[in-house]
Amino acid sequence: MTIDMHAHWRPAFLAEAFRARTTPPMIERTAKGTEVLTAFGRSLPLDGMFDDMEERLRSMDRYGISTAVLSLFGQLQWIERLPSAESLPICRLYNDKLSDFCEAHPGRFAGYASLPLADLTVAANEFERALALPGIVGAVLPGNAFLTLESAQQYAPLMEVADRHKAIIFIHWGPRPGDQWPRVAFNAENANPRLGTIDMQASLSSNMITLCFTDFLEKYPNALVHIHNLGGNLPFEIERMDHRRYMDTPDDPLPSTRVRKPNLYLDCNSFGAKAIDMGVDLYGADKIVFATDGTDFSTEWTIKALGEAKLDDAQRAAIFHGNAAKMLGHLTNLAPFQKAAE
C-alpha cells in the first residue's frame, strides 16, 4: 500500500490546446508531415508523447501503488509561464480535466493544479477555484521562485491560499515566467547531467535554505510544502554548513538544527539507499515520502532503494504510505490498494 507523491503525467487532452497555438508551446507539423511539440527551444516528436493512463493504472497495481498525485510533465508545464491571458484558459482546462480524471478513478489519483504564474493575483484566484474541485490537493510552483527569500515573498498570495485550505505547495525545479531557461544549453557537452542533476540539485538546495534558514514558512503554518529529490544536496552538505557556521558565526544556530520544519516534506525520487539513509538522518523518516517521477523505471529504482536503506519497518511504512496519508487525508479520498486493484 503505497502513495506516490511525485507522479508526472502527459495528458492527451492538452493536445488540441497546443494545436490551436501559433507560438510555443505548440504542436506543429514538420516538412516530413510528422507532428512535434515545440517548447523552450526544442521540439519533441508527438508520437508517444502522451500517456496511456490505463497502462499507468496497471503499472500502479503491479507495484502496489494505491494513490498517485499527478503533476504536469515539465515539457507541458510551459503553459504556466505564458502571459496570463493565454495561460489562464489552458490552466483552467487542465485543472478541470485533472479533477474529472481523479473523480473517474476514486481514490487512485489526486492532483497538483497548474497556475497562470505571470500574474499572481490571477494565479491565486485560479488556485482558490481549483482547490474546490474534487481531487485537487495543491499546486506546483517553480523552484526558481524560492531561490531567495525576496523572490519567495512575491509568492505570498499563493502561500496564503494554501494556508487557508491546508493545501500543498509542490516546489519543483523550474523557471518562473521570464526566467532564462534552460541554464545549460541542451546541446552543451554533458548537458543532461549538468542540467538535470547538478543544476537541479543545487537549485533545490537553495530552495531549502530559503525555507529552513528564514522565518518564511512560519507565516504559513497550515500550508504543507513538498520538495522533490530530498531537497537537493543538503543531506550531503549539511556537515560542511555546520563547519562553516562554527567558523564564521559560532553564536548562530547550526544549520543541521534548522531543517526539520513541521510543514515541510521531502520526496526520495531517484535516489539510492545511501542518499535515503542520509536524508532520514537529517530530516527524520517522518518527513520523507515515496515518489516515482511517474515512470516504471523510477518506481522500481525507488522501491529497491528503500528496501536496501537502513530503515526499520515503521520507517519504511511511513515513507511508503503513512507520511503521505497524513498530508493528503484531509484533502482527498485515498484508496486502499486491496480495494483499488480489484
Total structural domains within the chain? 1
Q: Is the peptide bond before 250 cis (omega within 30 degrees of 0)?
A: no
Query: For residue range 100-149, what is the model confidence (pLDDT) as tens digits?
Result: 999 999 999 999 999 999 999 999 999 999 999 999 999 999 999 999 99
pLDDT at 341 exceeding the cut of 80: no
State the Cα–Cα distance between residues 37 and 46, nearest whole angstrom.
Answer: 6
Domain containing residue 76: CATH number: 3.20.20.140
Entry pTM: 0.95
pLDDT at 171 exceeding the cut of 80: yes
Q: Whole-angstrom distance between the N-terminal and C-terminal Cα of the chain?
A: 14
**Sheet strands (E) in the chain:** 2-9, 26-29, 35-39, 42-45, 65-72, 109-113, 136-142, 168-172, 224-227, 264-267, 288-289
To which residue does cell 509561464 refer?
81
pLDDT at res. 104: 97
pLDDT at res. 325: 97
Instruction: Give the side-chain half-sphere CA count within 13 A for 306.
Output: 25
Exposed, middle or buried, 114 (CB in 10 Å: 0-12/13-18/19+)?
buried
Decide if 7 contacts 46 (C-beta within 8 A): no
pLDDT at 342 exceeding the cut of 50: no
Span 183-187, average pLDDT? 85
Query: Chain-wide mean pLDDT for the chain?
Result: 94
Lowest mean per-residue pLDDT among 35-39, 267-271, 319-323: 35-39
pLDDT at res. 339: 40
Domain limits at 250? 2-340
Q: Which residues of 205-216 are buried (b: 16+ CB within 10 A; e: fewer)?
A: bbbbbbbbeeeb
Decide if 140 contacts 170 (C-beta within 8 A): yes
To which residue does cell 506543429 refer?
28
pLDDT at res. 337: 52
